[in-house]
């Protein structure tokens, strides 16, 4: 399991990296977003959704737990921060969301990793020194993403589907 690291210096650049990642996804893919409060998980999802043709505003699902957006693929955006027990994950119907018509992004998903169906891509977002500086770490967990590790490495150099400007 290789880790690809990308440094960004603005919300727009973080969204551009997410847009490049969106060129690599397919139906049934699961992406786990990890990071401190305010690190940019929803910002990342906004860039990702826009690249898939989502036209409605992408907002944090902190209080709704799940948002669903129509685009080239359905984008399921979940936030499990407020779930207290792993049994609550089953109540979300996660297995049904991860289907052949959608890609699913889960904020704070590392907290429920044991309950996730199959493999996934972990995207860890770390705060940097500057206000808008971020470090994005991409790591395949399970077989579902291993065949795309070389393409993921391209994210670090403005690779697949370059969405404008290399990360800083």
pLDDT in tens, 117-132: 778 999 999 999 999 9
> CA geometry: angle at 151 spanning 59 and 109, to 5°?
35
In this prediction the pTM is 0.84
Helix (H) or strand (E) holding 138: strand 134-141
Domain coordinates in residue numbering, the chain: 26-38+48-130
* Overall fold of domain 26-38+48-130: Rossmann fold (3.40.50)
- What's the pLDDT tens digit per position in 96-107? 666 678 899 988
Give the contacts of 142 (CB within 8 A, at least 6 positions apart).
118, 119, 120
């Amino acid at each position: 399991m290789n880790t690809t690291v990308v440094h960004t210096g603005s919300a727009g650049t973080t969204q551009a990296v997410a847009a490049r990642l969106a060129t690599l996804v397919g139906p049934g893919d699961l992406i786990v977003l990890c990071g401190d409060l305010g690190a940019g998980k929803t910002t990342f999802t906004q860039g990702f959704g826009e690249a898939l043709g989502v036209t409605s505003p992408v907002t944090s699902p902190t209080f709704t737990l799940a948002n669903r957006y129509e685009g080239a693929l359905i984008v399921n955006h979940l936030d499990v921060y407020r779930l207290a027990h792993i049994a609550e994950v089953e109540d979300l119907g996660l297995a049904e969301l991860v289907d052949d018509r959608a890609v699913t992004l889960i904020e704070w998903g590392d907290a429920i990793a044991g309950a996730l169906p199959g493999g996934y891509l972990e995207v860890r977002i770390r705060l940097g020194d500057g206000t808008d500086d971020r470090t994005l770490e991409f790591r395949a967990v399970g077989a579902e993403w291993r065949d795309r590790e070389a393409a993921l490495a391209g994210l670090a150099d403005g690779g697949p589907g370059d969405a404008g400007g290399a990360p800083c």
